Amino acid sequence: MATARSALTSALCYRDPKAALRWLEEAFGFELVMLIEDAEGNLAHSEMKFGDSLVMIGNEWTAQHRSPASIEGLNTQSLHVHLAESDIDAHCARARAAGAEILMEPSDQFYGDRTYRCRDLEGHFWTVGQTVRAVSREEAESATGLKIEGWI
């Protein structure tokens, strides 16, 4: 019986996707759930799980699908990891110890999350957050001067 799939899954290209798999496990606690290799042992496809979400990790496969390390650090997306129960400061220390470049130290945000930002071993940008307090839409608007719709 097939397991339920995430409704939305991101896919990242790496020059060395096998190193990325090891790094994402060590730095962020991701779990490898699928690895497909060709006859020579080259990665054909992989998926990693974090909570109820997946991320696909693969090779560079066209000139338009490249690692930031191959295109002067350029990124067209960033990824967000939301921690349910972990200690975000300890998570940041774990990522730093694994070699993440910490771009923003953990800090409390107006919307009630504590977040940090980092760059991985090939230059992908990641934000990691954890809700630390409940904030109403009105409180967030008052703190920022912004008009907010669709507050969850």
Domains detected in the chain: 10-62+76-144 (3.10.180.10)
- pTM for this structure? 0.90
CB 84 within 8 A of CB 129: no
Q: What is the dihedral of CA 95, 97, 98, 99, to 10 degrees?
A: 90
1 burial level (CB within 10 Å; 0-12, 13-18, 19+): exposed
pLDDT string in tens for the chain (152-residue length) = 455 677 888 999 999 999 999 999 999 999 999 999 999 999 999 999 999 899 999 999 898 889 999 988 988 889 999 999 889 999 999 999 999 999 999 999 999 999 999 999 999 999 999 999 999 999 999 999 999 998 87
